[in-house]
Amino acid sequence: MGVVGTGQARSDAFDKVTGRALYTDDYSMAGQLYAVLVRSPYPHALIESITVPPLGPDCFVFTAADLKNNYIPCIFNDQPVFASDKVRHHGEPVAVAAAPTLEGAHALAESVQVVYRPLGIVDDMLHALDDDAPKLFEKGNLCTEFHSLKGDPEAEFGACALVLEHSYDMPVQAHGFLEPEAAFSYIGDDGRLVLISSTQNSFGDRFTVCNALGLDLQSVVSTAATVGGAFGGKDGNTTQIYAAIVTHFTRRPVRCVFTRQENIRWGMKRHAARVDARAGFSSDGHLIAFSGHIRFDTGAYAMLGPSVLRLGMEHMCGPYFVPNVKLDGELVYTNHAPASAMRGFGAPQGAIAIESFMNEAAGKLGLSVLEIRKINAIRTGCAGPMGGEFEHSIGFAQALSAFEKTAFWDEMKNRPLKGVGYGVAAGMMSSGLGKHVPDSCHVSIDRQSDGSFVVSTSLIDMGQGSATALAQIAADCLGVGFGQIRMRMGCTEGTGDSGSTAASRSTFVCGNAIALAAKKILGGENHAEARFDFPEAGGEAVHTMFAFIVQGVKLSVDRADGSVRLLDMVSITDTGRVINPTLLDGQVFGGVVMSCGYTLSESIRYRDGKSRETDFGNYTIPTSLDAPALENHIVEVPEACGPFGARGMAECPTVAVAPAIVTAVRSLCPDADISSLPIDRYQLMEKKHGVCSSHT
């Protein structure tokens, strides 16, 4: 009997609870410097001059002038390492200051004199493309756009029995990881620059550093420390380049750790979105036509925004087959801190529209919210919303059936409690980086003299538990116990580039690579390497493999103050074969609570281009008292090409929470207009006592 499918305890648990695990901030070395950024006080301004004061001993300042290439490699390469001619968001780095103490580095950073000429700002993405909007870039504020058309939705809407239309404004969300962005670097004994950081992609960091400094790739070693959460917010440069620049020029160990303020104000974010959608149903509940338009606010730079836009559009119809689909999207620049990847990667913004339509249509057409979803549920072989087809296993219909058997559904259908709102929603989330992005995983396995194995990959366990799940896969593939496997993850040394730990891909892509390498070991080798390529989507589709979720929420609303009390949240997850049910529950519960915050209390609000939220005191993520009681069940519809039949699911639980909550709230407050998140409590209150009159 193997360990796959068991709730094997996490291999990192003991080190974490005993404090033995080394996070980036735990590293220190004699002679180290602290790096602090000189940040722009303006959201949009021309830089007229940068003057560095005379530097004391052990004090250093570096700017764009010191770099070989002043940009951060990404999709569009539009983001400088240091602003040199123009700043495009409040807090944008202009220089890095380094000194032997943190206080000294702050003082030094403050002493750098930058003369700015402030420009008009784009503070509202809805006006970013106006003719008179200040331009962030010469080409204007349209970063990129996306259009796709299948069938003839405009004509079909006319023939539909029911056409629903709604717009939503979705907020900027922060990842809320416990460990802020952090990097530590030094020159190793062999003269190479060593970068240890809180990251999702050590090869990516190495490339960023080498590109900026003009180094060849072999002269930098990049490793992930123990990472205290990431959720997409550490997929790309945060602190890494700044530490590395200072180490490179000073040959000294350097620590660069963001404060929580820096994290909340200027760390990457989930894109704010304006969603306009329309859905047409036949009288028997078939979704005939859908048109969706999304505008995403990418802030000052593209970062991963173009991919987020594409994925958001691709997921906008949800897990439903629709013959006629029109999708349009825009990614616009504003003078806000850049948005980039965040768990769900554009899907949660659009899901609120289609899932709310499903629930509304069910009510109007006399179907249950599960029936209407069953009628439209995608199945393997179905055409996708942009053409191509769903090629891999899909357990969505099974998840809907399983939901029907829950005590939650029984209560909701047959004996709903008075004063309690019930809401159901479903979601799907792709796994894999998508077409046109190299998506392979390299693994090496080394047999040790004691008969145990070291399994190496550059993918990273950021806290999601992949080190444990992957070791379970390795143990079963090699036919040894879980204790015989040691995972070595997140380093540029020893294995090839496996890309970013993102897109719910690790278990699938790395699990497969492990299986391939293990076969060689079983064939008698002591060292084996293997590479697995994520299967590419056919046709126009970007992604080809998905996880599915059906979620129900039970809540009450206090009409006196408009607060929402979440009681229960039940999830049914389909991710193919489950490698570790305990870790799966952890992913579901974490994703749900994160999304409860998205729906009810979290939002970065900009005023005059500056984030009003500055820390966890005012950026209000849910506490344990705000979270509902959580329950997760699984349906296992195995994936033929997955390791032991698994598909990836880490992001899936963030997709459908908001529409489930919004639906339940609407059932209790039918007059409330809920068109933006987080839900405005004012909308939900009883307003009776002379509230609007003026008083003298």
Partner 1 sequence: MAFVLHTPETIKQAVRLQRETGGEYLAGGTVLLVRHAAKPIDGHVISLQGIPELKGIGYRGPVLRIGALTTFTEMHKSGLLGGHFKALDEVSRIMGGPQVRNRGTLGGNIGSNSSAADAVTALVALDAVIRREGNLITCIELSDEKVAASAFAKVGRRNAMAVSVANMAVARMTDGSYRVAVGACAPTVLFCQKTSAVLSSGGTFDEAAQALQSEIQPRTDRWGTEEYRRAVCPNLLERLLAEVAP
Chain contacts with partner 1 (rule: CB under 8 A): 103, 559-563, 601, 605, 612-613, 617-618, 620, 622-626, 681-682, 685-693, 695-696
Largest CA distance in the chain: 90
The CB-side HSE value for 315 (13 A sphere, CA atoms) comes to 34
Comparison of 519 and 559: residue with beta carbon closer to partner 1: 559
Instruction: Write down the least CB distance from residue 90 to partner 1, Å.
Output: 16
User: For residues 456, 458, 463 and 467, what is the CA-based torsion angle, rounded to 10 degrees?
Assistant: -20
The C-alpha atoms of residue 433 and residue 560 are separated, in whole angstroms, by: 46
404: its two tokens: 């029907």
Spatial separation of the C-alpha atoms in residues 540 and 559, rounded to whole Å: 48
Q: Which is nearer to partner 1, 298 or 601 (CB)?
A: 601
Q: Shortest gap between Cβ of 615 and partner 1 (angstroms)?
A: 9
Identity of the residue, 111 or 484, whose beta carbon is nearer to partner 1 in the bound complex? 111
* Tokens standing for residue 319: 């897990």
Of residues 585 and 613, the one with the C-beta less far from partner 1: 613
Q: Of the two residues 14 and 682, which places its CB atom closer to partner 1 in the complex?
A: 682
Closer by beta carbon to partner 1, 397 or else 669: 669
- What is the closest distance, in whole angstroms, from the C-beta atom of residue 233 to partner 1 in the complex? 21
Nearest distance, CB of residue 264 and partner 1, angstroms: 13
CB 175, CB 231: distance < 8 Å = yes
Structure-derived torsion over alpha carbons of residues 180, 597, 297, 315, reported in degrees to the nearest 10: 110
| Cβ at position 600, least distance to partner 1 in Å | 8
Using alpha carbons only, what angle is made at residue 210 by residues 204 and 216, rounded to the nearest 5 degrees? 115
Q: Which is nearer to partner 1, 410 or 686 (CB)?
A: 686
Tokens of 201: 């992609």
What tokens does 591 get? Answer: 């994703």
> Between 347-365 and 305-314, two packed helices, what is the crossing angle to 10 degrees?
20
Return the number of other C-beta atoms located less than 10 Å from residue 46's C-beta: 14
Crossing angle (nearest 10°) for helices 511-522 and 466-478: 30
Closest CB 609 distance from partner 1, rounded Å:
16
Q: Pairing relation of β-strands 193-197 and 220-224?
A: parallel
**Nearest approach, Cβ of residue 587 and partner 1 (Å):** 23
Taking the complex as a whole, how short is the minimal distance between the CB of residue 36 and partner 1, in angstroms?
13
The least distance separating partner 1 from the CB of residue 194, rounded to whole angstroms, comes to 31
Nearer to partner 1, 260 or 374 (CB): 260
Residue nearer to partner 1 on the CB measure, 305 or 421: 421
Q: What pairs with residue 40 in β-bridges?
A: none
Least separation, in Å, of the C-beta of 626 and partner 1?
Answer: 5
Helix (H, G, I), strand (E, B) or coil at 666: helix
Q: Which two tokens stand for residue 217?
A: 């790739």
Choose between 368 and 683: whose C-beta lies nearer to partner 1.
683
CB 251 within 8 A of CB 189: no
Contact 332, 143 (CB under 8 A): yes
In angstroms, give the least distance from the CB of 631 to partner 1: 20
Q: Facing residues of 142 across strands? A: 332
Q: Is the peptide bond before 180 cis (omega within 30 degrees of 0)?
A: no
Residue 263 identity:
N
386: its two tokens: 């942009």
Between 614 and 667, CB nearer to partner 1: 614
- Report the residue number, 19 or 617, with the smaller CB distance to partner 1: 617
Nearer to partner 1, 135 or 260 (CB): 260
Smallest gap, in angstroms, from Cβ of residue 34 to partner 1? 15
CB-based contacts of 184, cutoff 8 Å, min separation 6: 24, 25, 27, 28, 195, 196, 197, 225, 243, 253, 254, 255, 256
Instruction: Dihedral sign for Cα 507, 513, 514, 515, please.
Output: positive
Q: Provide, rounded to whole angstroms, the least separation between the CB of residue 103 and partner 1.
A: 8
From 93, 70, 451, 384, select the one nearest 258 (Cα to Cα). Answer: 93
